[in-house]
Amino acid sequence: MSYPFQKIEKKWQAFWEKNKIYQAKDFDKKPKKYILIEFPYPSGDGLHVGHVRSYSALDAISRKKRMEGYNVLFPMGWDAFGLPTENYAIKKGIHPSIVTKRNIGVFKRQLKSLGLSFDWSREINTTDPNYYKWTQWIFLQFFKQGLAYQSEMPINWCPSCKIGLANEEVIDDKCERCGTGTEKRKIKQWLLRITKYADRLLKDLDDIDYLEKIKTQQQNWIGRSEGTTVKFLIPNSEFLIDVFTTRVDTIFGVTAMVIAPEHPLIDKLITAENKDKVKKYVEMAAKKSDIERTETEKEKIGVFTGSYCINPANGQKVPIWVGDYIIAVYGGGAVMMVPAHDKRDYQFAKKYNLEIKEVVSGGDISKEAFTDYGVLVNSGQFNGLKSGEAIKKITEWLENKGFGRMTVQYKMRDWIFSRQHYWGEPIPIIHCEKCGIVPVPEKDLPVKLPFVKKYEPTKTGESPLAAITEWVNVKCPKCKGPAKRETDTMPNWAGSSWYFLRYIDPKNKNCFADFKKLKYWTPVDLYNGGMEHTTLHLLYSRFWHKFLYDLKLVPTPEPYASRRSHGMVLAEDGKKMSKSFGNVINPDEIVKQFGADTLRMYEMFMGPFDQMISWNTQGVIGLSRFLNRIWQLKEKVKIDKKVLCPAECEVLLHKSIEKISEDLDGMKFNTAVSQLMILSNNFETYEKLPISIYETFLKLLAPFVPHIAEELWQQLGHKNSIHLENWPEYNPRLIKENKFDLVIQINGKFRDKVSVPQEITEKEARAIAVSQEKIKNWLKDKKVIKTIFVPEKLINYVIEQ
Ligand code: ANZ
Ligand code: ZN
């Protein structure tokens, strides 16, 4: 027989809602804690047990923080624009807004059935015109600052859906929605100038607490690279080619120039006899994806244009080739080819019999390219210099001659911000025959999506909105002449780039959020989401936030003080859960059969929070048994103050308070649950349990299993919610285990610390030190020269610089 979870879960959910106990209070005197989880896309499939994992976990943290006396903001909303809804709507002939409303209804019912402590009074929905009005307003600010612009862009094109796709919508060179191979096409697009913020997006990572692997991903995505830009003149013409190189020390070894098939000068460079050949090559390259083109394994093929340019270092004539492994939008889209010292160039030169000229000694270039640094040879006055030194000297020398300069390049490109879809925020721009591009006046926002029957793609590549003439044709706001609305919509990254700000002031009609409220609540103290969002979404929202900061509209330069990620929940068979595999676990079923508390606690117990883990039905059953045993414990509870339990029980309780508190803060939910199990096993060995101990136990349970904890609490005669009680404190004297903070240094500088037992040996201290994530990073690829251990103080790694 199970404890009556069905009855008590509904009862307490209603009680909490009626008493509004989870509402955050603006400007409250208590210290604030803003805890954010990525808001879901309300898909037609309903809530996934993967959602439940992170929501339950962050809910546990929120509850503990409230009990610790914080004014907690833990909000929820809907990231509801996007393709799946649009496609479903087209297929079924139902308007996307109706589909969205229905899906949100399902999600909300499911979330409420879990008893999560969201402040529902702040619910937001990115497809609500009152919300996207401000998304559009922020876009206009970008436009007014020159950071939103239109440009012909080679974009990924799906020949089947007849739409442009962003890089993130292309999976393995195939269209995300239909699986057809994508092509390149030039289309006029809106872009946001995120590259202008590249340096700050990189540098400010130092000041925020993100998981190291997340920082690394952001750094790689931004891809900062220092090098030299060199001008190669084309004789008898006004043109020149700029190349970017990180190895200007190899400039005397240049034996060809390779330009991208999309290089703007290409038509000027092709000589008559090479025309057909080059044109064919360029067409072929356009069909390939970037990944295919730059794969290092693939054979590099190219064609000669027939033209030459001049190497400014030695005045030599260099043949200009076209090669599809050159990325058009990086470093000027041209590369000085140095076959002796670059692998790709080496392959290319071998294939086409180009000269391989050694200019850095140290390898054997008859066998392969020598790509390391070395000492310069065959390089005129620079012979004998080491590569590092030569890079500086040659750059200076070229700079003085007016042929080069130090530059920084980024892999990151400007953000293509146009989509040719219906279900997105209309870009608030009007195109006038006379005035050109005119922003929609702010007073006319929002530009609402027209409610129409047809929103299929137009096949011409234009947005479905282009076919709705009564919506498209407008008067120009400036000259009142005939004009047309922009018909592209925003990508569904737009609404999620600032949603955390709207939770702070969700109903504001005058601005996206009141500055005083922002000042109280920002930055977000803890942001949790999937690993798949740690590059784009995080970068985009950091970019928007920094932009708003520059406009003095938000008080902090960074939106999130810390960022963590959870691991995915896989199916019982170890595969991804998917309808097509028939292995999906529906949270509704688990709630019905075992109760929400069991589901929540099971998902926290299933494994380390940041790791992928398979569902295990036996585990659910085990947890449900555990909760039933907790239900039984109440029979032992004695109100009688004279009932005492043995000293060891008291000690265990206090140790548990310490452990569970630390584990919750450290997001080690699974070990916190084990501790609760240890504690309750211990209680079961006694005949009687003093009420004071039992009450503390219930408080420890409350963040994990809020319903059963509330029921047992109020059965004791309490009238107030357990979730408003104080979090228990432990008595340090009871659990004194002689620990100290071991300081970990690298080359004498403080890098981390960790709490360890006083009697720790050097060997143990080393093992613990190198397992710390920060230290791992510091020591990565570094040679440790020696370690110094000072007992009860520190461990210092001396490493090669
Ligand atoms: C000459 C050279 C000689 C290079 C050598 C390397 C070794 P990162 O670190 O990624 O910035 N490159 C420049 N622009 C390129 C483009 N649009 N597409 C493909 N490759 C491009 O790498 C910079 C290096 O990548 C540059 O330095 C250039 O090749 C190549 F022994 O220039 B190097
Ligand atoms: Zn006009």
Under 8 Å between Cβ of 476 and 483: yes
Q: Which ligand has the minimum distance to the alpha carbon of residue 434?
A: 2
* CA dihedral over 246, 252, 253, 254, signed as positive or negative: positive
Q: What is the rounded distance in angstroms from the CA atom of residue 458 to the CA atom of residue 80?
A: 23
Ligand nearest to the backbone CA of 222: 1
Q: Which atom of ligand 1 is nearest to the CA of 409?
A: 11
Q: Is the model more confident about 168 or about 532?
A: 532
* Cα 202 to Cα 433: distance, rounded to the nearest angstrom: 41
Q: Verify whether ligand 1 is closer than 6 Å to residue 336 (CB atom).
A: yes
Q: Is 387's C-beta closer than 6 angstroms to any atom of ligand 1?
A: no
- What pLDDT, in 10s, does the model give residues 380-405? 999 999 999 999 999 999 999 999 99
What letter does residue 424 receive in the DSSP assignment? S
What's the 436 CA to ligand 2 centre distance in angstroms?
7
Give the angle subtended at the CA of 468 by the CAs of 160 and 488, to the nearest 5°.
60
Q: What's the pLDDT at 163?
A: 75
Q: Higher confidence at residue 783 or residue 626? A: 626
Reported confidence tier of residue 329, pLDDT bands at 50, 70, 90: confident
Residue that has been written with the tokens 């500086």 in this structure: 392
Spatial distance between the Cα atoms of 595 and 609, rounded to a whole number of angstroms:
21
Query: Which amino acid is it at 94?
Result: I
CA distances from 609 to 568, 612, 791 (A): 9, 8, 33
Does the CB atom of residue 225 touch ligand 1 within 6 A?
Answer: yes
What average pLDDT score do residues 175-198 get? 89
Report pLDDT digits (tens) over 589-612: 999 999 999 999 999 999 999 999
| Mutation pick for ligand 1 pocket among 224, 246, 298, 343 (CB with most ligand atoms within 8 Å) | 246
**Is a pLDDT exceeding 90 seen at residue 286?**
no
For ligand 1, pick from 220, 232, 243, 247 the residue to mutate: most ligand atoms within 8 Å of CB: 247
Atom number, ligand 1, closest to the C-alpha of residue 341: 31
Ligand nearest to the CA of 408: 1
Pair 172, 290: CB distance under 8 Å: no
Question: How many angstroms separate the alpha carbon of residue 470 from the centre of ligand 2?
Answer: 18
Q: Whose CA is nearest to atom 20 of ligand 1?
A: 326
What residue owns the CA closest to ligand 1's atom 27?
245
Residue written as token pair 């000259």: 479
- What is the whole-number distance in angstroms between the Cα of residue 331 and the centre of ligand 1? 8
pLDDT reading at 309 higher than 70: yes
- Tens-digit pLDDT profile for residues 551-589: 999 999 999 999 999 999 999 999 999 888 889 999 999
For residue 282, the CA-to-ligand 1 centroid distance in Å is: 21
pLDDT of residue 288: 76
The per-residue DSSP string of 156-189 comes to EEETTTTEEE-GGGEETTEETTT-PBPEEEEEEE
Give me ligand 1 centre to Cα 373, in Å: 15
Give 96-136 pLDDT, tens digit per residue.
999 999 999 999 999 999 999 999 999 999 999 999 999 99
**240-278 burial, b for 16+ CB within 10 Å, e for fewer?**
ebebbbebbbbbbbbbbbbbbbbbebbeebbeeebeeeb
Ligand 1 atom index nearest CA of 246: 27
- Which-ligand-closest: CA of 439? 2
Ligand that lies nearest to the alpha carbon of residue 346, given by its number in the listed order: 1
CA-to-CA dists, residue 579 to 296, 582, 623, angstroms: 36, 5, 26
CA of 207 to the centre of ligand 1 (A): 31
Which tens digit of pLDDT belongs to each residue from 23-48?
Answer: 999 999 999 999 999 999 999 889 99
Q: Which two tokens stand for residue 41?
A: 């896309």
Please report, for residues 293, 304, 643, the alpha-carbon distance to residue 278 in angstroms, rounded to integers and kept in the order given: 17, 8, 93
Give the pLDDT score at 643. Answer: 67
Q: 229 is written with which tokens? A: 């830009």
CB-CB contact of 795 with 769 (8 Å): yes
User: Does residue 168 surpass a pLDDT of 80?
Assistant: no
Task: Compute the distance from residue 257 Cα to the ligand 1 centre, in Å.
Answer: 12
What is the reported pLDDT for 373?
96
Q: Tell me the best of 259, 262, 342 to mutate to test the pocket of ligand 1, counting ligand atoms within 8 Å of each CB and taking the most.
A: 342
pLDDT score, position 759: 80
The pLDDT of residue 92 is above 90: no
Read off the pLDDT band of 636 (50, 70, 90): confident
What is the pLDDT at residue 1? 66
Ligand 1 atom 12 nearest Cα? 335
Number of neighbouring beta carbons within 10 Å of residue 629:
14
CB distance 247 to ligand 1 below 6 Å = yes
Best residue among 228, 244, 290 to mutate for probing ligand 1, ranked by most atoms within 8 Å of CB: 244
> What spacing in Å lies between the alpha carbon of 428 and ligand 2's midpoint?
15
**Residue 788 token pair:** 């110094």
**Ligand with minimal distance to 331 CA:** 1
Distance 336 CA to ligand 1 centre (A): 8
- Residue of 596, 578, 577, 575 lying closest to 587 (CA atoms): 596
Place of tokens 């059969």: 593
Nearest Cα residue to atom 28 of ligand 1? 245
What pLDDT, on the 0 to 100 scale, is given for residue 531? 84
d(CA 248, CA 404): 10
Between the alpha carbon of residue 782 and those of residues 746, 776, 798, 799, the distances in Å are 11, 10, 10, 6
Least confident of 339-348, 351-360, 577-586, 606-615: 577-586
Residue type for 483, please?
Answer: A
Structure tokens at 332: 């000027």
Q: How far is CA 168 from CA 85, 240, 333, in A?
A: 18, 34, 22
356 contacts 365 by C-beta, under 8 angstroms:
yes
Q: Whose CA is nearest to atom 22 of ligand 1?
A: 246
Please state, in angstroms and rounded to a whole number, the distance separating the CA atoms of residues 36 and 515.
Answer: 19
Tokens, residue 761: 């040996």
Q: How far, in Å, are 55, 65, 663 from residue 608 at the CA level?
A: 15, 21, 11
Residue with CA closest to ligand 1 atom 33: 245
Lowest mean pLDDT among 23-32, 65-74, 147-156, 362-371: 147-156
| Choice from 220, 224, 245 to test ligand 1 binding pocket (greatest atom count within 8 A of CB) | 245
**Any atom of ligand 1 within 6 Å of the Cβ of 245:** yes
- When pLDDT is cut at 50, 70 and 90, the band that residue 296 belongs to is low
Gap from CA of 420 to ligand 2 centroid (Å):
24
- More confidently predicted of 801 and 410: 410
- CA-nearest residue for atom 32, ligand 1, is 245
User: 301 or 746: which carries more pLDDT confidence?
Assistant: 746
Percent of the chain residues topping a pLDDT of 90 = 76
8 Å CB contact between 652 and 679: yes
DSSP code, position 705: S
Helix (H) / strand (E) element for 786: namely: strand 784-790
What's the Cα-to-Cα distance from 509 to each of 330, 490, 544, 571, rounded to whole Å? 43, 22, 20, 44
Give distance in angstroms: CA of 444 to centre of ligand 2: 16
CB count in 10 Å sphere of residue 66: 24
Query: How many angstroms is it from 457 CA to the middle of ligand 2?
Result: 28
Instruction: State residue 524's pLDDT score.
Output: 98
Q: Chain-wide mean pLDDT for the chain?
A: 93
| Residue 481, token pair as written in the block | 């002449």
Counting ligands in written order, the one closest to the CA of 436 is: 2
Q: Look at residues 176, 9, 256, 126 and name the one whose alpha carbon lies nearest to residue 532.
A: 176
- Calpha distance 256→349 (Å, rounded): 9
Query: Alpha-carbon torsion 630, 635, 641, 644, what sign?
Result: negative
Q: How large is the angle between the packed helices 49-67 and 587-594, nearest 10 degrees?
A: 60
pLDDT single digits (tens) 506-542: 999 999 999 999 999 999 999 999 888 888 899 999 9
Tokens of 189: 């697009």
| 220, 224, 250, 335: residue to mutate for ligand 1 pocket, most atoms within 8 A of CB | 335
Percent of the chain with pLDDT over 70: 98
- The ligand 1 atom at the shortest distance from the C-alpha of residue 331 is 14
589's torsion region: left (phi>0), alpha (psi -120 to 50) or beta? Answer: alpha
- Is the shortest distance between the CB of 311 and ligand 1 below 6 Å? no
Q: pLDDT tens digits for 680-701?
A: 999 999 888 889 999 999 999 9
Contacts of 308 (CB under 8 A, 6+ apart): 234, 235, 317, 318, 319, 320
Strand ranges for 346-493 from DSSP E: 360-361, 375-376, 404-410, 415-416, 429-432, 436-439, 473-475, 482-485
Please, are residues 79 and 40 in contact by the beta-carbon 8 Å criterion?
yes
Residue 497: pLDDT band (50, 70, 90) is very high
Strands 739-746 and 794-799: parallel
Ligand 1 near 326 CB (within 6 A): yes
Nearest listed ligand to the Cα of residue 437: 2
